Copies of this chain bind each other. A is one copy, B any other.
Amino acid sequence: MVDRYSRQMLFKPIGEDGQLKILNKHVLILGCGALGSANAENLARAGVGKLTLIDRDYVELSNLQRQQLYTEKDVHEQVPKAIAAKKRLLEINREVNIDAYVLDATPISLVPLLNDIDIVIDATDNFDTRLMMNDLLQKYQIPWIFGSCVGSTGMSYTILPKETPCLGCLLDRAPMSGATCDSVGIISPAVQMVVAHQTTEALKLLVEDKDSLRTNLVTFDLWNNYYHTMNVERAKKENCPTCGENPSFPHFSGEVSTKSEVLCGRNTVQIRTGRKVNLQELANRLQYVAPININDFLLSLEYESYRLVFFHDGRTLIHGTNSIEKAKTIYYQLAG
C-alpha cells in the first residue's frame, strides 16, 4: 500500500489516515458513460475499497471519443459498459472490489444496492433519473455529487442530505432535455473537468474532510473560457417536497416501470417488459430471421433498417426509430 498510494498519502489533506479511510469505503457510480467511466478510473486508482457500477447500455463506436476505459474490442464484442469498465478497472487495480450491474436505474433496482454505500456519484445523462436519485438518496441519507456536461460546458454540485439544498431546490421545474450530447455534441475535456470536480468532492467525503467541501455550484465553458460559481445557500426551500420537513418524494415511484421510452436524441426506443429473458432460447428462435450476435449479456441482430439489442432483464433497445409505435411493431414481430 505504502508505495502504490504514496503520492496520495503525501498530499496532506489525505495522509495515511485518509488513505486508510478511502481503502474502506464503498462508492456507487450511477452510469458508466463518459462521467461514470472517468470517475470510476480515478477512484479505482485512488484505492477505494469497493465500487458498485450501474449501467444499462453497451459500448458503441461513438462512445470511444470520450468514454475512458473502453476500447475498439469492447465495441466489436458489444460488451455492456458496466462489465467492460469492471474488466479494465481490475487490470488497473485488482485490490478494488467491484460489483457491476447491467440494469435500468429505478428505485426498485437501486434500493437493494444502497446498503453500505458511502457516496453516490451522478453519472447519468438525464434529469428524470437525477430527480429520482435526488428523492432516493435524500430518503436513504446518502451524499451524492451531481455532474453533467454537454458541448464544452458542464456543471457540478455536492449534495448532503438534510444539510445542503437538494437538486430539486435548485430547479424550479425539471429542465427540458434541450441540449444533450446526442444533439449538440461534446468534447472530452468537458467530461474531465466535471469529473475533476466530482472526484475531488468524493475524496473529501471519503476522508471525512467536510469543511473543505465545495458549497457552490460550478458552471464552466472550456471553449469560451469561463468558469462561474454560484453560492446556493439561499436556495434551500423549507417546504421542498424532497428535502423539506414533510417530504413527499415526488420523483420516487416504487412501481416496476414497464413503459417504453424514446432515448432522447439517439434515434432509439427502449421497450421494457419487466420479465427476465433467456437469451439463448431467444437466439434459437431468432437465428432463422437474421444473423445473431450473442455474448453473456446481450443478443443483437439487424432487422430491416433496425438494430435490436435484447438484455437479460427484459429490456430491448430498438435502434433506428424514434417512434414507440414502430418499435413495438418490430418488437412483437420478432419476440412477441
A residues sitting closer than 8 Å to B (CB atoms) are 3-14, 38, 41-42, 45-47, 61-62, 64-66, 68, 70-73, 91-94, 151-152, 181-190, 192-193, 195-197, 199-200, 203-204, 212, 214, 216, 222-225, 227, 229
| A–B complex contacts, Cβ < 8 Å, 23 sampled | A3-B61, A7-B182, A7-B185, A8-B66, A11-B184, A11-B186, A13-B152, A14-B187, A42-B188, A42-B192, A45-B64, A45-B66, A45-B188, A46-B65, A46-B188, A70-B92, A73-B91, A189-B203, A192-B193, A192-B195, A196-B222, A197-B222, A204-B223
Chain B residue contacts of A212, Cβ below 8 A:
223-225
A189-B183 CB under 8 A given contacts A7-B62, A62-B3, A92-B71 = no
A11-B195 CB under 8 A given contacts A42-B189, A188-B46 = no
Chain B residue contacts of A186, Cβ below 8 A:
7-8, 10-11
Chain B residue contacts of A187, Cβ below 8 A:
8, 11, 14, 46, 199-200, 203
- The CA of A316 and the CA of B205, in the complex, are separated in Å by 42
Chain B residue contacts of A184, Cβ below 8 A:
10-12
